Structure 1
Amino acid sequence: MAELTSTLTCPICDHAETEQMPTDACQWFYECKGCGEMLKPLAGDCCVFCSYGTVACPPIQDGDKCCA
């Protein structure tokens, strides 16, 4: 069973916020609650949780392709 919460950390201001991950879609954008920066996945990552989170998104945790 995949973990459904992840703490996103902004690379601009280092603000960290724990969020619930969607299980039915990728999350490509996230607005930092600290500085307002709009975060997008890094090259090679499928979503903001895979790029900035403490836990990868549920499909990746389960060994599947994200948004496949």
Structure 2
Amino acid sequence: MEIITLSTITCPECGFRKKEEMPINACQHFYTCDSCLYYMKPKNGDCCVFCSFGTVKCPPKQIEGCC
């Protein structure tokens, strides 16, 4: 299975979108919007900001889903 490492993250506060490279072996728990400086945290039940606000789930979740 090919792991996707690029995800477009969307700020829930202002709607700003940015393509970001995700870490391969870790979840990213916090992210600051470049536009409005909103400090994002994962939604309840999600492991990271990419799972909550990104177009692609984080690599650890992608790997977990293939097993």
> TM-score over 0.5 for the alignment?
yes
Q: Give the Cα–Cα distance (whole angstroms) in 2 for the partners of residues 43 and 29 of structure 1.
A: 13
- Taking the aligned partners of 1:5 and 1:33, their CA distance within structure 2 comes to 17
Equivalence map 1:1-68=2 (5 Å)? 1-63=2-64
1:2-60: per-residue Cα shift (whole Å, max 9, x none)?
10000000000000000000012210000001100000000000000000000000111
RMSD over aligned CA atoms reads 0.9
Q: Which ranges in structure 2 are unaligned for 5 or more consecutive residues?
A: none
Aligned 8 A contact 2:27 2:60 in 1: no
Higher helix share: 2
**Between the two proteins, what is the percent identity of the paired residues?**
52
Which runs of 5 or more structure 1 residues have no equivalent in the other structure?
A: none
TM-score by length of 2: 0.90
Specify the code of the residue in structure 2 equivalent to 1:48: V
Provide the C-alpha distance between the structure 1 equivalents of 2:37 and 2:55, rounded to a whole number of angstroms.
Answer: 20
| Cα displacement (A) at 1:63 | 2.4
Q: TM-score, normalised by structure 1?
A: 0.89
